[in-house]
Structure 1
Amino acid sequence: TEPTRGYADVYGRISSLLEVGTGFHPELTGRENIFLNGSILGMRKREIERQFDAIVDFAEIEQFLDTPVKHYSSGMYVRLAFAVAAHLEPEILLVDEVLAVGDIAFQKKCLGKMDDVSKQGRTVIFVSHNLNALQRLCTRSLLLNHGRLVAEGKTDAVIARYLNERTSSGAPDTWIDLTDKAREGTGRVRFAAVAYSSHNPLAAHQPYANGPLEITLDLVSDAPRTVDSIAATLYDRYGTKLVNADTLALGEAVTLAAGHSLLHLHVERLHLNPGIYMLGLWAANPPGEMFDSLPTAIQLEVVELESEKIRVEADGVVPCEFRVRIGPDTPHQPAWA
């Protein structure tokens, strides 16, 4: 896509990974494409030869090195392309969402490499919706909406802004309309509304650490049907799954009538520290049909209940019960003392 307007001042060598297969010729082998892709990115032949073994080792495709890349999977493409781009030793490394194609182990390897590049005083521009990766890799972030800059600053603050704009919150014991929420699925079963409560007036019915949480779901089905998996999932602001209440885990399918049905999910003890969490909803008959999925339906706040005597600022997200004991009377003298 051609830019509409504007300009960029570039100081130093840029290496980029923007699209699977960019800079590769399908008829050439992996070995030949290393030299081709490296030259496109600005590497000299001597430089490519010096980095060749490191590139092949990083990409983990040695046994397919002399195979034409037209026979490579998209994951193998990404492995090789990222290995070349990362070993160019650029001043600026530009990486788009393309890393989502690789497997989890290789994604972690790539994030580690980008972290190394940034620690060497070079610039990494990482475009992603992976909030955990952004939090780990980036000290500063930009939030774009339809090509326009809407936020810039420390990654924590920008992520919070992003999540707040994508999710709405509602008071406990009130129905929250979900009809206009972004979702995926066939729509044969849909989440119409959700309500939540701890049923504890001392917490103003808000969820609280180690307390109960009831989530009530208003589901709409186009016909009478049985649904194997209906789940309510709590995530932290980086998208890490923390609590998953899924009917599939109970081995109990849910029978829905045509039209509206109410489903109550009751969590006995919510092992989360005070903070803001995202509630995601899911209805499916796995591994076949996914009816409805709302990864960030609403956000809710877990509060501190004074009577629970929880620390005001607790580390981590999961509270734990522990004791401290000093003893025995005569301290043990370690061998090295």
Structure 2
Amino acid sequence: MSQTIEQTHIVPDTMTGLRLDQAAAELFDEFSRERLKTWIKGGALTVDGQQMRPRAPVMAGATLVLNAVLEENPVWEAEAIALDIVHEDDDVLVLNKPVGLVVHPAAGNYSGTLLNALLHHAPELATLPRAGIVHRLDKDTSGLMVVAKTLAAQTSLVEQLQARRVKREYDAIVIGAMIAGGKVDAPIGRHPADRKRQAVVANGGKPAVTHYRVVERFRGHTHVRCRLETGRTHQIRVHMAHQRFPLVGDPVYGGRLKLPAGAGEALKETLRHFSRQALHARRLAFTHPTGHETVEFGVELPDDMFMLLDILREDQAQT
């Protein structure tokens, strides 16, 4: 099965002087660099309408246009990995992803991923791009994901995501006593100094909007609920850190461990050993691809976040 890809990106100021293949790898980040190189060499990825070499430098404001055919999926192995399935019908599968499960195979994670598990659960997904996966959660973020089981369903879900019609709500535990909720409307792109991280980028970032509200406040932490309008890489983690309320346990954006003054030993030990970002996709709603009604799903907090909240409440009560 093949799929026609048509995408356009404008080179931001932060990428001026980068090689074309490097800039393309960041702008068209759902495709591998090798695949992008092949498209560049074949003329399927052009710069201002012109074919260029992969090593050619690009300038800010240049228009990169990708018009290519994505050939049949790579052959990934099916693996018997348990799935926590919340709902399944002929068109979609909704699951509760556990902490530690990588969504899609990539360098360093060619097996043991959600995609491998999906192929075992439903072998027919091998005929779909990315085995029906339409959005991702970070390895150490838990919670709800929807997977398409037919090409029509996948097309519908992708269109809904692009049109911001999929409702996604997350529970997060952040560092700091937040006074009130709010909205972060700040573009996100690659960090200018550390290409493995994302950051709020004034020029060239992709639009990103996060709404958040306070659920429960503690002495030095806050339980917040975040709703995504967009779905950029690490969006909630980046936006909360940008607001100076980084997520508990975030190894990339959380900074150094901060223990509240006067915290009890139980809380100190819990915070020291909470080794993943405290983020959980709790609610998911979308229009069913064939039924056309709005369907909504929810899951409870995982044990580690539930226990952290309990200990925060106990610590609060002792003050």
Tell me if TM exceeds 0.5: no
TM-score (norm 1): 0.25
TM-score (norm 2): 0.26
Q: Comparing both chains, which one has the higher relative contact order based on Cα–Cα distances under 8 Å and sequence gaps of 6 or more?
A: 2
